[in-house]
Amino acid sequence: MSVKNEDLLSPFRFSNGITLKNRMVMAPMTNFSSNPDGTVTDAEVYYYARRSAGVSMVITACTYVTANGKGFHGEFGGDRDEMIPSLRRIAEAIQQQGAKAILQIFHGGRMCPPELVPNGEIVSASDIPAERGGVSTEEPNINPRALTEEEVQEMIKAFGETTRRAIEAGFDGVEIHGANGYLIQQFFSPHSNRREDRFGGSLEKRMTFPLEVVNEVKRVVRESAQSPFLIGYRFSPEEPETPGITMGDTLKLIDALADKDLHYLHVSLMDFFSTPHRGVEDLSKSRIEYLLETINDRVPLIGVGSIYTAEDARKAFATGVPLLALGRELIIDPDWVQKISENRENEIVTKINKEKQKELVIPDPLWNAIINSPGWFPGV
């Protein structure tokens, strides 16, 4: 290994004693490849195994915690105990290659396609349709139904129950998906949350649901895990809607989360070095800089976003983030970490090779999504 990559390949120890062999993590990415009943397919298991040998930790695609939370065709389920053997297949495929396996737990809220949820009924914090990229926008006459206060309590418990299933399936941790416009973010957002009970209103009240999900997941881990088990939380820093989450709002949420004794926070960014749009004084300072300042070493932050080359990773790591996640790049080149460790970084592939689907072990549904979405992946 080259001296310049030593830091990227150095071990990292979480506060609960779990140690990662290096600083590189596989980011959670939807692959659309599970069976209609929510069980995982062989193709999906092979896809994870192919990408788990170099990185130290793999965060899976999101799994839904209730039947009405399924956000994607071909998403695997964690909403009932019958899914534990299916979940175990993914955990074991990752761990057999030497990486820690983290299950991302989620509910799609107003972004769920109605054909995937019971009775086609989409639920959210309030009955406000999504403005962009949401099913409630694309489908005529579909508004989400606001969850009752009792249902919100049941939803919090559902995140805990799926955490228990992750423990029973042998995962090393869970990541609470509070990003990308899904249900947890919908409760935090002033656009989607217009509630007047204790779960809505002021910024502090809009933080209630995310923080209570964290508390419930922690409680379940305390009671059910026999060995150290990681809890992470993923968030998106801003929303384009007005009203919407600003960078300033997110820094308040992150400040609260940093005091929750979580094992890591994980920002969701398309570009690691992106700058804020509103809500903070200096818009030229990167979001990562603001986050690191607010966190102030209380909890590790995973950075992500368009990191393709070794140089990209070194530049990102130099900001002070202790862990880096690779998303699209690990689909393009599953051997990225091995190439760095073997002084072969000049062999890293940074554009998808359209002739190598089989060699890259990419399931057909994900492959079709990549090939038919120009601009999503370099080379397409």
| Active site members | 182
Instruction: Check if the beta carbon of residue 29 is closer than 8 Å to that of residue 331.
Output: yes
Q: Residue 195 to residues 136, 320, 356: CA-CA distances in angstroms? A: 18, 38, 49
Indicate the SS3 state at residue 208.
Answer: helix
Q: What stretch of H or E contains 345?
A: none
CA distance 200 to 182: 16
Can you list the alpha helix ranges (DSSP code H) found in the chain?
Answer: 42-50, 84-95, 135-138, 149-168, 183-188, 203-206, 208-224, 247-257, 287-295, 310-317, 328-332, 336-341, 357-360, 364-371
Q: In this structure, what token pair is assigned to residue 296? A: 């102030």
Name 12's bridge partners: 20
285: Cα within 13 Å, side-chain hemisphere: 13
Give the Cα separation of 58 and 62 in Å (integer). 12
Q: Read off φ and ψ for residue 279, nearest 5 degrees.
A: 95, 0
Single-letter code of the amino acid located at 281: E
Residues forming beta bridges with residue 267, ordered by sequence position: 235
Structure tokens at 259: 């005091």
